[in-house]
């Protein structure tokens, strides 16, 4: 479909310039977009990013003082080949659960007609963020881990941890065991109850960071992001051949582990340089081998030998949300889900 044809299709459903479509969190979830689709969409987003076929300025953000370590980020993304122009406005407030009984991650997406710039839809971003983050980690593992890895670990068993467990096998099809660890034992029980029915590999809870890390070829983490790392995983537990895929930056690792990796990748160099600029890497960023998307796009080599220690640090990119929100908006319009509001 050509760009103008896509606009005409949108305009048949939403009177552009006079209406916007509002899609709630529950409606987004119920559209029936599968994990395989999300894995493929995020893989495509990474590849577009790797080929520099996107416009994606580094996040800008504010950091409310009501709780420590909070952030609210504005994340615009433009993917010309997919006719996607959008913005995510999302927040992470780590103490929300304790203080308000609310999730730490929240957000909205604004999807625009890229021909005229006008807003077409506003959708919840929580499901999009949850799904695309875990799918990006699984894509990272597909290209950077040993392909025949049989044991993975998940550290942090909250919203992201559970979704990571459900996505791992898309990137690591030979997995037989997933070790899980969380400082909150109830979170591990909940992860097993929710994920085991959907996952072939056996999910096993372990009692320490050490057990999780030493037993796994691929270690995923999604705990909390703190402005300064508070290492829990000792460098001597990390061995040759492991792949460390993190959605929570360096929080859990010692600086020397990050710096001795044979390959250290990030999703966006620009983003991580921005984070370094506001103090997130007090020990400095390691030397960056490349971006996750460059490997997905085949521009840079992923794993080259069984023994490489590889780190993949993904902080999340708007182009991933962008691929997802177009799928959400298209599916919602096709199925007449959501409600039209006057602009």
Ligand X SMILES: NC(=O)c1ccc[n+]([C@@H]2O[C@H](COP(=O)([O-])OP(=O)(O)OC[C@H]3O[C@@H](n4cnc5c(N)ncnc54)[C@H](O)[C@@H]3O)[C@@H](O)[C@H]2O)c1
Give the binding site for ligand X (CB under 6 A): 92, 97, 104-105, 129, 133, 155-161, 182-184, 187, 222-225, 232, 247-248, 314-316
Beta bridge partners of 342: 19
**DSSP labels, 292-316:** HHHHHTTSS----STT--EEEE---
Asked whether 123 and 140 are in contact (CB, 8 A), the reply is no
Q: Which is nearer to ligand X, 123 or 133 (CB)?
A: 133
Q: From the CB of 90, what's the least distance to ligand X, in Å? A: 8
Give the E-state strand segments of the chain in sequence order: 19-23, 60-62, 71-79, 84-92, 105-112, 119-124, 151-155, 177-181, 202-205, 218-221, 243-246, 263-266, 290-291, 310-313, 339-342
Q: How far is the CB of 156 from ligand X (least distance, A)?
A: 3
Of 242 and 292, which CB lies nearer to ligand X in the complex structure? Answer: 292
Name the minimum Å distance from CB 46 to ligand X.
12
**In the complex with ligand X, which residue's Cβ is closer, 121 or 131?**
131
> Which residue, 274 or 337, is less far from ligand X as judged by CB?
274
Q: How far is the CB of 222 from ligand X (least distance, A)?
A: 4
Which CB atom, from 89 or from 241, has the smaller least distance to ligand X? 89
The rounded distance, in Å, linking the Cα atoms of 222 and 162 is 10
Tell me how many degrees the CA angle 112-116-23 measures, rounded to the nearest 5: 25
CB of 57 to ligand X, least distance (A): 16
Residue in 229, 222, 279, 224 with CA at minimum distance from that of residue 259: 229
Cβ 92 to ligand X shortest distance, Å: 4
Identity of the residue, 128 or 329, whose beta carbon is nearer to ligand X in the bound complex: 128
CA 45 from chain center: how many Å?
11
């Amino acid at each position: 479909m050509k760009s103008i044809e896509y606009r005409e299709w949108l305009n048949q459903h939403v009177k552009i310039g006079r209406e916007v479509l509002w899609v709630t969190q529950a409606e987004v979830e119920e559209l029936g977009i599968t994990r395989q689709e999300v894995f493929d969409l995020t893989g495509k987003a990474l590849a577009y990013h790797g080929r520099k076929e996107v416009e994606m300025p580094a996040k800008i953000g504010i950091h409310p003082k009501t709780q420590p370590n909070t952030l609210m980020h504005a994340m615009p993304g433009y993917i010309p080949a997919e006719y996607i122009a959008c913005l995510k406005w999302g927040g992470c407030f780590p103490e929300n659960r304790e203080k308000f009984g609310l999730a730490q991650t929240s957000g909205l997406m604004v999807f625009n007609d890229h021909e005229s710039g006008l807003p077409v839809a506003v959708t919840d971003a929580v499901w999009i963020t949850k799904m695309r983050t875990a799918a990006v980690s699984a894509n990272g593992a597909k290209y950077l881990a040993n392909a025949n890895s049989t044991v993975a670990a998940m550290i942090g068993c909250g919203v992201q941890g559970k979704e990571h467990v459900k996505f791992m096998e898309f990137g690591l099809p030979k997995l037989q065991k997933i070790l899980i660890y969380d400082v909150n034992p109830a979170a591990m029980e909940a992860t097993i109850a929710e994920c085991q029915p959907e996952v072939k590999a056996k999910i096993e809870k372990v009692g320490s960071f050490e057990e999780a890390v030493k037993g796994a070829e691929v270690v995923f983490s999604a705990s909390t992001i703190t402005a300064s790392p508070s290492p829990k995983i000792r460098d001597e537990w990390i061995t040759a051949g492991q792949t460390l895929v993190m959605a929570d930056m360096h929080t859990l690792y010692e600086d020397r582990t990050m710096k001795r990796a044979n390959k250290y990748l990030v999703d966006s160099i620009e983003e991580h340089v921005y984070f370094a600029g506001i103090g997130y890497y007090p020990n400095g960023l390691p030397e960056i081998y490349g971006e996750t998307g460059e490997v997905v796009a085949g521009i840079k080599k992923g794993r080259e030998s069984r023994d490489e220690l590889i780190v993949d640090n993904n902080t999340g990119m708007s182009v991933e949300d962008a691929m997802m929100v177009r799928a959400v908006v298209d599916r919602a319009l096709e199925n007449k889900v959501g409600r039209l509001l006057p602009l």
